[in-house]
Amino acid sequence: MLHTVNKSPFESSSLKTCLSFAKSGSDVLLIEDGVYGGLSGSAHTSWVAEALGDVRVYALEPDLKARGLSGDRLIPGIEAVGYDGFVELACANDKIQNWL
């Protein structure tokens, strides 16, 4: 299953809820303000990094760039992808849960 999260972990528990729901082997894509959840060196980094063994986490690169961030600010193991990568993730997973 593909999960998307579009909220910053600093204002919403969406990412935390998502990661506690996501089964091992799921894909989680951070989009919009959700990309802040992928930052290394933040107050939320440790629990996000902990989830990386179980689920694959991606961050939408155009949303990072728009916020003055780049892939090298992400927690190691989180991959930056473009909209084409978003489409590929949506195809590769048989269902999608958008955590709104």
Sign of the torsion formed by the C-alpha atoms of 88, 91, 93 and 98:
positive
Residue 43 burial class via C-beta count within 10 angstroms: exposed 0-12, middle 13-18, buried 19 and up = exposed
Closer residue to another protein, CB minimum distance, 77 or 96: 96
Q: Is 56 in the site for another protein (CB under 8 A)?
A: no
Taking Cα atoms as reference points, which of 26, 57, 25 lies closest to residue 44? 57
Q: Is 10 in the site for another protein (CB under 8 A)?
A: no
Q: Is 1 in the site for another protein (CB under 8 A)?
A: yes
Binding site for another protein (CB under 8 A): 1, 4, 6, 13, 17, 20-23, 31-33, 62-63, 82-84, 86-88, 90-91, 95-100
